[in-house]
A and B are shown apart, each in its own frame.
Chain A
Amino acid sequence: MAVKRKKRSTAAENEIITLTNVCKAYSTGAPALKDVNLHINRGEFVFIVGDSGSGKSTLIKLLLRELTITSGYINVMGYDLSKIRHRKIPKFRRNLGVVFQDFRLLKDRNVYENVAFAQRIIQKSNKEIKKNVPSILAIVGLAGKYKAKPKQLSGGEQQRVALARALVNKPTVLLADEPTGNLDPKNSWEIMKLLEQINENGTTVIVVTHNREIVNAMQKRVVTLKRGVIISDEEKGGYIDED
């Protein structure tokens, strides 16, 4: 199937994510991704869309180095992920903010500690943590709820905490896997606005989503996957109806 591409900068030195002929097959033998070529530049905002089973989650897991490719070449922020050593993975992930559909917060710690945790991992001093965490919580609009435990927050608020945790270390790339999947339309829009704001400040943002309305309204680059193959890659695209 031919891949549609419209006016996209391909300056290699500006590329932050490169996938060349990437294939991923699971042990069951079913191919999850077939011959995927994808280039994402520094500072881009990209939607990855597609139906269930299209390979979106596999792609995110490959970018996170949760999974390894079966063949091809994958480079994220200068790390060749097919060759990276296990002990180098933490350092790689520290430049990568991640937001999940199910928030994945540490349930027994409050908002402040959840966000501070990301800073502790990179061994920031207590002084820096006390400065950075309230500041990022203010950006996501949760300055007043720093003592709350995740279960005391709404879905939208929990996702903001996850976003604050992903951003506090000032990542180069932000990966968001269905960030609005568990949210109502109002909260979904607020999260998307925050992601757009983060992108405007220079962070590369990659959002995997099913949300047709948001994708169509935001007019960002859209990469569409179907059965493990990229069928469309548009600069200011929309959600493709496959019917």
Chain B
Amino acid sequence: MRINSFFYTLRQGVRNLFRNKWFTLASIATISACLFLFGLFYAIVMNFQHIVKNAQEGVAVYVFFDDGLEDSRIQQIGEMILKRPEVSRVDFVSAEEAWESFKADYLGGYEDGFTENPLENSAQYEVYLSDVSMQSALVTYLESVDGVRMVNRSELVATTLTGVNALIAYVSVGIIAILFAVSVFLISNTVMIGISVRKEEINIMKYIGATDFFVRSPFVIEGMMIGLIGAAIPLGIIYTLYNIVMEYITTRFSMLSSLLSFLKVEEIFNVLTPVSLGIGVGIGFLGSIITVRKHLRV
């Protein structure tokens, strides 16, 4: 393609946006609506996952040792636990640290009656999991380790979090499937409008001797620009909405925000921006290719 043909094609693509104002607006609105739903859903799901992940990270298994177990064996057990793939972190809490923590939490300055450490045998490992669904497998393993006296865990929390995780996965798949079906329906309708708008124009071009590439290029550029704008609008709206909602939650429900931690807007948009723009441009590209192809065989 010669350079002036390239610029001509580019210019025509941009001009097409304004030539068919209603078609352009309808297409942008369709893509925006689909990507708005997608973005909104993504932000909600990501926050859910973040909250669940935080909760999971707080779930620990406590490992207590046999009386008088040597420090070297305790050290060895710690290294063995850390090698397990489901384990993310292992913290050692000595008997003294356990007593200090207990005093601070429950006695509040009334510990004078204690002359010895009542938690003498309470040196322990706090084992944190990267995948809470593996908790019972880990506990079975730990109970079989020589030198381990007792393993404490909260089964209810682990089961609940595993259930929530699975639920989020199912709901995500379900909503993505619905969104996809709605998008295909809306976009195919828009493409049908595009076909009737374009038919005569494409026929004329073909009769004059335009190649498929020459006919297609301005429409493809137009489609990609529609996709780009159609993606940028919901991104802008979601960005603003997200900030407003986060500010509202932090100020009005400070209790809630201290319990649950939400993702920062940047963390959401680092992924959402390229994905949405990619989907928008992709839809525009494919939509225009399909629309034009139907009429190229003239």
Contact = CB atoms under 8 A, between A and B. Distances in A.
Contact of A123 (B5, B201, B206, B298): B5
Contact of A126 (B4, B19, B204): B4
Interface string B66-105: 0000000000000000000000000000000000000000
B2 A104 contact: no
Interface in B184-217: 200-201, 203-212, 214
Q: Which of B1, B19, B204 has the most CB of A within 10 A?
A: B204
Interface in A45-77: 64, 66
Specify the main secondary structure of chain B where it touches its partner: helix
A39 to B, nearest CB: 24
A123 B209 contact: no
B261 to A, nearest CB: 54
Nearest to B296: A86
B200 A90 contact: no
A91 interface: yes
Contact of B209 (A87, A105, A122, A125): A122
A125 B2 CA distance: 9
Interface stretch (A92-100, A139-147, A209-217): A92-100
A241 interface: no
Contacts of B207: 64, 66, 93, 98, 104
A121 interface: yes
A4 interface: no
A90 B4 contact: no
Interface string B106-139: 0000000000000000000000000000000000
Contact of A93 (B4, B208, B214): B208
Contact of B298 (A66, A91, A108, A169): A66
A104 B4 contact: no
Nearest to A98: B207
Contact of A108 (B5, B19, B206, B209): B19
For chain A, the bracket of interface size reads 20 to 34
Interface string A105-125: 110100000000110111101
Contacts of B8: 120
Contacts of B203: 104
A117 B298 CA distance: 18
Given A106-B201, A106-B204, A121 B209 contact: yes
A24 interface: no
B297 interface: yes
A160 interface: no
Contacts of A86: 297
For chain B, the bracket of interface size reads 20 to 34
B219 to A, nearest CB: 14
A221 interface: no
Contact of B5 (A87, A120, A165): A120
B204 A91 contact: no
A130 to B, nearest CB: 11
Contacts of B297: 86
A18 B297 CA distance: 24
Nearest to A108: B19
Given A104-B200, A106-B201, A118 B208 contact: yes
Interface string B244-283: 0000000000000000000000000000000000000000
Nearest to B211: A90
Given A66-B298, A91-B209, A96-B209, A121 B214 contact: yes
B2 A123 contact: yes
B208 A165 contact: yes
B212 to A, nearest CB: 8
Nearest to A125: B4
Nearest to A175: B207
Contacts of A91: 209
A169 B209 CA distance: 11
Contacts of A105: 204
A181 B209 CA distance: 24
21 contacts: A64-B207, A87-B211, A90-B210, A90-B211, A90-B212, A90-B214, A91-B209, A92-B209, A93-B206, A93-B208, A94-B208, A96-B209, A106-B204, A117-B208, A118-B209, A121-B205, A121-B211, A122-B209, A123-B2, A126-B4, A169-B209
Q: Which 5 A-B pairs have the closest CB atoms?
A: A93-B209, A94-B209, A90-B211, A121-B210, A108-B19
Given A90-B214, A105-B204, 13 more contacts: A64-B207, A93-B207, A96-B209, A98-B207, A117-B208, A118-B209, A120-B8, A121-B205, A121-B209, A122-B209, A123-B1, A123-B5, A126-B4
